[in-house]
Structure 1
Amino acid sequence: MESQGIPDFRLPFEAYSAQKKFMQDAYRCMEESRFGLFESPTGSGKTIAMLCSALTWLNNNRLKDAVSRLQPGVAKGEHLSDHVQISVDTTVPLWVQRNMEAQQSAIAEKLIETELQQLLDARERLKNIVTLTEDGVRIRPGSKRRRDFAPESEGHTCADAKTTRDKIQIIISSRTFTQLNQYVKEFRRLGALSENLKIGIATGRHQSCINEAVRSRCKTNEEFNEECRRIQCDFRDDVNPLAEASICFPMDLEDLRAAGTSLCSCPYYASSKSISQCDVILAPYISVFNSSIRKSMDLKIDGNVLIVDEAHNLVDAISASHSSVISTSALAALSRQCVSFVEKYQGKINEDMKAGIASIESVSRLLLKCKHLFDNSTCQDKSMVLSIPGFLVKLGLESARLDEILTFLASNEFCGRLSSFAKHLSHKHSGKSTSVVQPRFDMYTTVVYTFRHFIATLLSSTDHERIIITSLADDIEIELFNVSADEQFRSLTKGARSVLLMSGTLTPLEEFMGLSPYTVEPIVHQSPPVFATQRFYVSVLSGVEQGIPLVYDSTSRERHREISTLCHLVGQLSTVVPNGIVCFVSSYKFLDYFQSVFEQSTIRVNVLKNKKVFFESSDKGKDIFTNYSKEALGRGAILFAVYGGSLSEGVDFHDGLARLVLLVGLPYPPETVKLQLRRNYYNTRALQSDVNQHQRNLYVKLANHMRTFICFKTVNQSIGRAMRHKNDFAAILLLDARYNEADNMQLLPSYVTRSLQNSALIKRTADPVDTLVQGLKQFYLSCGVNY
């Protein structure tokens, strides 16, 4: 029940105070059409809390939304708040207005009731063949589709889109299908709150294809798309049964594939057919941020609520979706493929196709001029940056009809045919090539899709995009780099009802504050952790000698003191920390150097008596994590990994997998061309007349402190690997004097700074490491560890 204007969120359990505040702020963000930043540590139940607030708001506003869409002159996608004043006419008597409002309300209620009754009827019809269990949705084997599933002419719940009631939708986007699947599981738990709502998942062909013959032939998204369009697939013949079942019962991606197999229905087309009817749509980043995919899936951002989960990497994801890269070796391969294709099929292809292929081959050769841009260079620079117009002029592409080339590549089956031809050439060469050379042939069998994406990205570029040409050891790389991710996001979301960004940690917030598409101040919610403060220990070790700070930077490999301190510290920690220790260092180069020193030190022998030691490599993260986990939960283990590597994000080091996280140094990113381009972009935006003073200050701050913000975003993600639930306990040790600087301290999560122990006291002791170890021992004893 609602009390004092606070909605009843109907969680399936008693919410704690921070969770209630989270839901209230999220609800207010949607109600007031605001931009919101929601930071809530892992284990706080933010997924189900966000879902509850979104569904509660949706249920409370269904009638208001339906009424507003009945009013004359209301365009689809307008905000609910915009609708309130549309029908007001001072010349119409008040009693007439109220009568009209009552009639509209009655009509809207009838529309909602009809939609609900169709849903209930379909569920009743399907209840004997669809089973909903804790593991998901299953279709009874051997179901007779014609008997059990109604045709569209009999009120099918997946009627044609033009007969579907237009309504507001909640779009939840996340980086992985694993996280999206979690929303489906939580949706099933919500009982009465979700039972009258429809949830669907926007999936691509690559992820959802159940045609084994196609899956065996295709590896990339582009290949799946081309093959799907080319062949007559039996699974595509009748997708209504699966579309209807997915509307009636909440399905995650695995459920959708399993049900599709049982019903011989294509999950991709079933999902596409049902998406317009869903109240809640789950979509991966690429489906939201890529305009062509968004249009093909009929995903509408305007007028709807967009919730972005795992938003800490949002800017990079947006930038990647609007960027493209191709190498000169790939272009050379494409040029050869085009020539060989025409030679082989000279008499079988028409003149239009020959002209299209000639244009592709011509543009490829012009792009290959990049190979010679560094020929006369006397400087040490390995890259150059060009504006889009400058790039086109420099390579002689200013008069090339790139739009016609893109139309040719997109409007026929040439890409698929050339890719198949390239695979044939690859197999032909494989009999003549060594195993070392063979992967190079395979690499270019789909280069035509890479070329198509590059041309499409080039044609849709803005004034802020730049071309980065980089000289590699044996190749030249041409990258169209999207600098203005914030503008891309604001352009996408400016018509949205509300936008909410959510993650375990968003600190530092500055990068995300600039994404708001609205002028009103964003709502910022930062939840406290769910665990008790006494179960979390944080300390800074800033030095081991009086007056000499420890600094682990790019030069620390040359200083014996930093390396020997780390070795000594690891030796001491191995005697007191139970189960697993996870240590993050700044780079693989530093990790390799430390490993070589550690392997030769006498400390290694003592460490191995207590724990097994693992070192991350750039290509073996998963295997190492599995082996480390077994040892950590047994006699104990230490895992040395790299900030920003495969083990620093998205990995759950719960309980004994990380009783201590040791952060060595600050992972400042190197000063790259891309970093400089973003800095220049922020400085340029700060000087432009279309920004207000608040935005100007934000751009200046981002330009001046970008490397620091990126650094601490990485640090905070690494900190978040530990303390995964309310009963967990762990310690965080920050090994670098720079963590004690006030400006840096502000960039750590608030719960970390609140838990920070008095590192100044440790520094003043005769043996800071011993003092630290004794403090850790007392902490672990208080958490129930027996020595």
Structure 2
Amino acid sequence: MSASYQPDFQLPFEAYPSQKKFMQDAYTCFEESRFGLFESPTGSGKTIAILCSLLTWLRDNRVKDAVSRLGPKVDNDEGVPAWVRRSMEAQLRSIAEEAITADMERLTATRQRLKSDFVVTDEGVRLRSGAKRGRDQVGGAHQIAILESWCTLQTGGVTTTNSASSDARPTRKKIQVVICSRTFSQLNQYVRELRRLGALAGQVKVGIAAGRNHTCVNPAVRAKCHTNEDFNDRCRQVACEYRQDVSPLVEASMCFPMDLEDLRAVGTGLCACPYYAAGQSMEECDVILAPYVSVFNPSIRQHTGIATDGNILIVDEAHNLVSAVTEAQSSVVHAKAMAALVQQCRSFTGKYMGEIGGDNETIASIEKVAGILSNCGKALSAASGSPRVFTIPSFMIEVGLEDTKFHDIVAFMASGDFCRRLRTLAERMWASKCKGVAPTDHSKRNPHLYAVYDFRHFVTTLLSASEHDRVIVTSEADDVAIEIFNLAAGMFPCYVQFQRLTQEAKSVLLMSGTLSPMEEFITLSPSSADPIVHRSPPVFPMYQFYATVVGSGTLQRLDVTLLADEQGLELVYDSSSREGSRELAALCRIVEAAASVTPNGILCFLSSYRFLKNFQVAFENSPERAGVLRHKAVFFESQGALMNASCLPGADKGSSVIADYSKQALGKGAILFAVYGGSQSEGVDFADGLARLVILVGQPYPPDDIKLRLKREYFRAKCRSPGHILILATAKQETLSRSQRDVYARLADDMKTIMCFKTINQSIGRAMRHKGDYAAVVLLDARYKSAKTQQWLPPYVTQALARDQVQSHSSNEVTSLKQKLDNFYKSQNK
């Protein structure tokens, strides 16, 4: 791309300067096949900006991409005369332009034809009642004009057509953009923003990848299935009428961008399965929207038909990337689940002895392995109080599995109906056991109903493990976890798996509202070039945001001076002191002071569920409780559940507690106590009055567990490397630059701090959600005063802290907190 070239970005509104820079940098990332790290705060319009940038790039490069796939490149072949090269290039370009024009004409014509059958609005796509099909109308040779083969691009103008078979797949190859995010609600947001781009969006075909459990529209199947494994087993067992003819749904989804809700609604109206429709259209899509697991899990990615080689990969909410990749690759079983699986196998053998025939030996092997895993987990964990780490061979020998025929077990569990039948038997056993118990969903109450699937995944992973993998045995409360941890040549599975996924991609772009600290993400960049790093400034004016540090002082209440920290010392909420009576009492007093002047909602994040529970006990027995309740309803996050209300008379225990909190926050006012990294630290939009104040208590440093130590060892090995190191067991060696080794050195030294502040910064991000929002952040811990600590915070937060320090004339932070908050909120309501 020429340095003077300015792409024509066609947003439906006048873009912010920061959006223009965002789109230009993203375009450069795509054009130069670079690795990008893009940080843009919530409310900055990054979703529509990235869509506009990538669709503009696709528009500008559609012909060039098609030409490059038509035949061998001759532009650098010295044996071919220049006039021949020019003639061939002109011919190829003409063929590509004609094919693209024809495809756009077909797309436009099909959209026009379908308009009478569909209602398409900014809110979604729905089928008109007169266009719905009954089940008796499903079938026939419905031809899909929009999916005519793109073999024109491969054969130089000779068009072939696919049969009407529902298994036919389009054969055109082209650059695709794969956008993955954490949840379907975030992916649905992309579809909504795409609709706003008008003609630009009309040039592309959009698909969404989802599992059967999210897409099934057969009411009979949905009534009997609860998990993706249930749906997969049921679909293999039953010939579903909804998959007989999915071509009308394929056609409609290629014409009109649909989110998951649209696909399900239209699929229901057409009696067509969205899962199979999405699978058939995947290769024809220009933009594919997918959840993390569909991209980062190799088997799911292959089955879905998502490819990253030669394509553009955009990872949204990329601050979740490390945990997402690790989760997608993880394989763990628990001793109790394996003990339950042994009993299930015995019951299965006894019940179906006459039917299983020659499979009896394999089922006995499954029972044996599950029993060994159950017993060895207890024995190995009892031998040492700390986690034990084994190589794969040493683990097999240690527990006596070295002669087990794992290939036979995996083949048996993958090909037959055993897993489904065993799960069904386990469900019946549990229902029988629960007779006389109050009617509930027994399948949800049985913790080991799907033990056979965990076992299958574990054994499959064990079979494919290499010398770079380890088995970690860890005690967990009253159970034992046996985990295969992928160390592959670096003891850091995310790095290895991400490199495998993206090494052949055209371009990779990670983006999030908060990526800082970025060191961990920089290591994911290929060593051949430095990444493009983009940081968008906040979209809100700084006078709408206030931040301060509280670490010591006294508090004036009812004309009586009370010590916030009874000994007049600094307040430090670390693991050794945060649950002390002095610290808990100080927190109660500070919360009361803040609640008396803060409008609407307050979020208060604490470091752990244990700390939260102990604080809840202290708060409910404190004199400050009555003062807080005069101004705010109070809620506490509950581990293992969505939320639970506390101290709120008349709260509807059956409703969503976040809904109760929201209602109270926008009325009388409310305060929500939650845990860093919990369900409320990200993923919930606390806009406007839902988070006028965010209090961060302490710093959530992660425990120094075995995996963290392995990561540090990996980083130290990398930064010590004088030059060449092996990245992948099957990959070539690469040379790291001095700057890259410096990044690894910092990771080795500061890994815990980086993980800590990644969580802190996500929690801070709950405060400001758009340019018209206003909020304050209180950092409650003396450690936040340190300049070294503040370097890990977002720039706009450190800027606000510096302004507060200049304007503060009181030596007592707690005394001045109430007044400073009161002044800030009054300034916003003028």
Structures share fold, TM-score greater than 0.5: yes
Matched residue type, 2:97: E
Which residue identity lines up with residue 700 of structure 1 in the other structure?
A: A
Question: Residues 529 and 635 from structure 1, CA distance in 2 versus in 1: closer, same or farther, beyond 3 angstroms?
Answer: same
Matched, 1:317 2:324: yes
Q: How does 1:569-608 map onto structure 2 within 5 Å?
A: 569-608=590-629
Query: Is 2:51 the counterpart of 1:43?
Result: no
How many aligned positions are there? 769
Contact 1:587-1:643 at 8 Å conserved across structures: yes
- Calculate the aligned-residue CA RMSD, in Å: 2.6
1:707-747 CA-partner distances (Å, limit 9, x unpaired): 11111011001100011111111111111121122222111
Q: How does 1:434-583 map to 2 (within 5 A)?
A: 442-482=446-486, 483-544=492-553, 548-557=569-578, 559-583=580-604
Could you tell me the percent identity over the aligned residues? 53
TM-superposed deviation, 1:374: 4.0
Identify which range, 496-505 or 730-739, moves more after superposition.
730-739
Deviation at 1:698, TM superposition (A): 2.4
Length-normalised TM-score, structure 1? 0.93
Candidates 725, 728, 731, aligned match of 2:773: 728
Equivalent in the alignment of 2:731: none
1:24 aligns with 2:24: yes
Q: Specify the code of the residue in structure 2 equivalent to 1:117.
A: E
Tell me how far 1:705 sits from its aligned partner.
1.1
Q: 1:571 to 1:421 in 2, by over 3 A?
A: closer
1:217 equivalent in alignment to 2:239:
no
Cα distance between partner residues in 2 of 1:441 and 1:178:
27
- 1:280 partner amino acid: V
Aligned AA for 2:482?
Answer: I
**Aligned AA for 2:86?**
R
Q: Give the secondary-structure state (helix, strand or coil) at the position aligned to 1:443.
A: coil
Could you tell me whether the CA contact under 8 Å between 1:63 and 1:109 is conserved in 2? yes
Structure 2 gaps, min length 5: 150-161, 487-491, 555-566, 645-655, 726-734
CA displacement, residues 738-778 of structure 1 (integer Å, 9 cap, x when unaligned): 11222221111111112224555688735322323222222
2:144 and 2:569 map into 1 onto residues whose CA distance is 81
Corresponding residue for residue 372 of structure 2: 366
2:207 paired with 1:200: yes
CA gap 1:757/1:563 in 2 versus in 1, 3 angstroms: farther
CA distance in 1, matches of 2:117, 2:148: 17
* Alpha-carbon distance in structure 2 between the residues aligned to 1:190 and 1:99: 37
Partners in 1 of 2:117 and 2:444 — Cα distance? Answer: 50
Deviation of residue 110 (structure 1)? 1.8
Within 5 Å, which residues of 2 pair with 1:163-174?
163-174=170-181
Could you report, residue by residue, the CA deviation over 1:612-637 in whole angstroms, capped at 9, with x for unpaired residues? Answer: 22222222427332222111111222
Specify the alignment match of 1:80 in structure 2. Answer: none
Cα distance, 1:697 vs. partner? 2.6
| Aligned CA distance change for structure 1 residues 203 and 153 (closer, same or farther; 3 Å) | closer
Distance 1:432 1:27, change over 3 A: same
Q: Which residue of 1 aligns with 2:142?
A: 151
5 Å-filtered alignment, 1:16-95, equals 16-72=16-72, 87-95=75-83
Q: Which stretch has the larger CA shift, 514-523 or 193-202?
A: 514-523
Letter of the 1:15 partner, please give it: A
Cα distance in structure 2, aligned partners of 1:6 and 1:760: 42
Are 2:296 and 2:328, in contact at CA under 8 Å, matched by a contact in 1?
yes
Which whole-Å CA distance do the structure 2 matches of 1:612 and 1:415 have between them?
48
Matched position secondary structure for 2:106:
helix
The change in CA–CA distance for 1:506 and 1:417 in structure 2 (over 3 A counts) is same
In structure 2, relative to structure 1, the CA distance for the partners of 1:436 and 1:288 (3 Å cut) is: closer
Question: Using the alignment, how far apart are the partners of 1:558 and 1:168 within structure 2?
Answer: 55
Q: For each residue in 1:302-325, what CA deviation from the matched residue of structure 2 results, as whole angstroms up to 9, or x when unmatched?
A: 000000001101001100111111
Secondary structure at 2:355 match in 1 = coil
The residue number in structure 2 matching 1:754 is 799
Is 1:779 matched up with 2:824? Answer: yes
Q: What SS class does the counterpart of residue 456 from structure 1 fall into?
A: helix
One-letter amino acid of the structure 2 residue matched with residue 617 of structure 1: S
Q: Could you tell me how far apart the structure 1 residues matched to 2:233 and 2:138 are?
A: 34
Partners of 1:322 and 1:457 within 8 A in 2: no
> TM-score, with normalisation over the residues of structure 2?
0.88
- 1:737-752 correspondence to structure 2 within 5 Å: 737-752=782-797
Q: 1:457 is aligned with what amino acid?
A: T
Deviation at 1:71, TM superposition (A): 1.8
Stretch of structure 1 that moved more, 668-677 or 143-152: 143-152
Matches within 5 A, 1:280-295: 280-295=287-302
3-state SS, counterpart of residue 26 of structure 1: helix
**Matching residue within 262, 272, 276 for 1:269:** 276
Which stretch shifts more, 440-449 or 610-619? 440-449
Unaligned runs of 5+ residues in structure 1 are 73-84
**Match for residue 697 of structure 1?**
742
Corresponding residue number in structure 1 for 2:103: 115
**1:147–1:440 Cα change, 3 Å:** closer
- Please, which moves more after superposition, 710-719 or 509-518? 509-518
**Pair 1:406 & 2:439 matched:** no
| Partners of 2:96 and 2:444 in 1: CA distance | 61
Give, in whole Å, the separation in 2 of the partners of 1:437 and 1:178: 26
The question of whether the paired residues in 1 share the 8 Å contact of 2:139 and 2:245 is answered with no
Q: 1:633 aligns with which of 657, 666, 670?
A: 666
Partner of 2:131, secondary structure, is: coil
- Note if 1:707 corresponds to 2:713: no
Q: Distance in 2 between matches of 1:414 and 1:589?
A: 42
1:154 and 1:714 map into 2 onto residues whose CA distance is 49
Contact 2:381 2:388 in 1 (8 A): no
Question: Shift of residue 329 of structure 1?
Answer: 1.9
CA distance in 2, matches of 1:175, 1:375: 34
